Amino acid sequence: MSFTPFNPFQPPPPQRPNFIQQPQPPLVDKKGRPIDPRTQKRREIMRFLLNPELGSGLEGLHETHGMFLRLICNIFLQTGVIDAAYPGIADPKQLTLLSLLHYAASHLEFTQEGMPRVLMFGAFVASLLAMVLTVIFFIVHVLSVTKI
């Protein structure tokens, strides 16, 4: 058998199984009566309009935020900006961005030996401010273009 490159416009060869959806069994309600698929779809749309569950799309944001804070905490810990006594290392509930920044800022030493840590902290705060300003300017730009 010779090799032929994949071409999406040609049907699959006959020896390869075709994965065509098998017909679904008819939908039935709790009493066993058949349900029209169009009616079922309409009910799903109406359920979404009446109860949109807006928070369901933001569930992963808390976990991602926690991972970001742990990453920043570990970077600060390895570069010496904070020490191992920071309570957010042992207890994740005490790990917040404001407490991390406050602890790091209160332990900065403005000496020649502490200058790399000061620069590291300043670079992080400057990049954080740049990200926040970018989001704000983007929102202002979108609102000015759409003329709401």
DSSP annotation string for 83-139 = -TT-HHHH-GGG--HHHHHHHHHHT---STTTHHHHHHHHHHHHHHHHHHHHHHHHH
pTM score, whole prediction: 0.58
For 19, the token pair is 């994965």
The residue type found at 61 is: L
Between 1-5, 42-46, 75-79, the lowest mean confidence (pLDDT) is in 1-5
Q: What are the boundaries of each domain within the chain? A: 57-146
For 93, the token pair is 């509930």
pLDDT at 16 (0 to 100) = 54
User: What confidence tens digit (pLDDT) does each residue in 59-81 have?
Assistant: 777 778 889 999 999 999 999 99
Residue 22 predicted with pLDDT over 80: no
Give the Cα separation of 73 and 17 in Å (integer).
Answer: 52
Give the Cα separation of 84 and 117 in Å (integer).
Answer: 15
Q: Is 96 exposed, middle or buried (0-12, 13-18, 19+ CB in 10 A)?
A: middle
